[in-house]
């Protein structure tokens, strides 16, 4: 699996605290090793975001992604309200 990062994701990444970025890096490692690991709280999104997925960085922050064949595109990262901006 190769993970790609959208332009929006990269922009949002730069605005995160170092603490959240460090946790997100660890979650990405877990995701690459075992995408079904319970700590990720992986789930498909519904409604207008159908086709996208979410993993939890912590109780407030999420990574939204979509699958493109064998690859993954990280679309957005931020607090739970990022769902509204997609």
Q: Domain of 76: which CATH number?
A: 3.30.2310.20
Mean pLDDT over the full length of the chain: 94
Give dist(CA 54, CA 44) in Å, integer: 6
pLDDT category at 80 given cuts 50, 70, 90 is confident
Percent of the chain exceeding pLDDT 90 equals 88
Give the domain range for residue 56. Answer: 3-85
pTM score of the predicted model: 0.90
Domains contained in the chain, number: 1
């Amino acid at each position: 699996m190769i993970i790609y990062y959208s332009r929006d994701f990269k922009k949002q990444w730069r605005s995160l605290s170092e603490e959240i970025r460090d946790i997100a890096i660890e979650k990405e490692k877990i995701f690459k090793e075992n995408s079904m690991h319970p700590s990720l709280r992986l789930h498909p999104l519904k409604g207008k975001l159908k086709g996208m997925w979410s993993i939890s960085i912590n109780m407030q922050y999420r990574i939204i992604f979509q699958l493109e064949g064998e690859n993954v595109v990280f679309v957005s990262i931020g607090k739970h309200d990022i769902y509204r901006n997609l």
